[in-house]
């Protein structure tokens, strides 16, 4: 009974998030090249985002509305990419009217 009440999956997800955040600190304290820094940050960010989606936002638990969940994720990623690249176009690459 107590095993069902203790959220071991959430605790393990939290600990994994802490480990991934600590791994991203290699960028600050490690003496790596800029391309290696980007690889470390991208890999840890992708793993952390998927961990957040599947463990804490319960993406894999609902069998009824999987199509809507993945559609919402795709739409959110589209909006995020448009925002990120729009910001880069304007502020970094100087593409403005």
Q: Match 């999987």 to its residue by tokens.
A: 66
40-93 pLDDT, tens per residue? 999 999 999 889 888 877 676 666 677 888 888 899 999 999 999 999 888 888
Q: Are residues 11 and 21 in the same domain?
A: yes
Q: How many angstroms separate the Cα of 21 from the Cα of each of 7, 13, 14, 26, 70?
A: 21, 12, 11, 9, 26
Q: Are residues 40 and 14 in the same domain?
A: yes
What pLDDT does residue 26 have? 84
The Cβ of residue 44 has, within 10 Å, a number of other Cβ atoms equal to 19
- Domains: count for the chain: 2
What pLDDT does residue 85 have? 92
Range(s) of the domain holding residue 94: 62-97
Q: Are residues 5 and 43 in the same domain?
A: yes
What pLDDT does residue 14 have? 92
Q: Are residues 51 and 87 in the same domain?
A: no
Q: Are residues 2 and 43 in the same domain?
A: yes
Q: Are residues 25 and 42 in the same domain?
A: yes
């Amino acid at each position: 009974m107590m095993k069902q009440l203790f959220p071991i999956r959430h605790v393990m997800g939290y600990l994994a998030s802490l480990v991934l955040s600590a791994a991203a600190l290699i960028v600050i304290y490690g003496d790596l090249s800029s391309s290696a820094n980007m690889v470390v940050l991208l890999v840890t960010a992708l793993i952390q985002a998927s961990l957040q989606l599947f463990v804490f936002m319960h993406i894999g638990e609902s069998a009824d509305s999987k199509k809507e969940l993945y559609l919402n994720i795709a739409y959110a990623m589209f909006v995020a990419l448009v925002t990120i690249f729009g910001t880069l176009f304007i502020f970094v690459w100087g593409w403005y009217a």
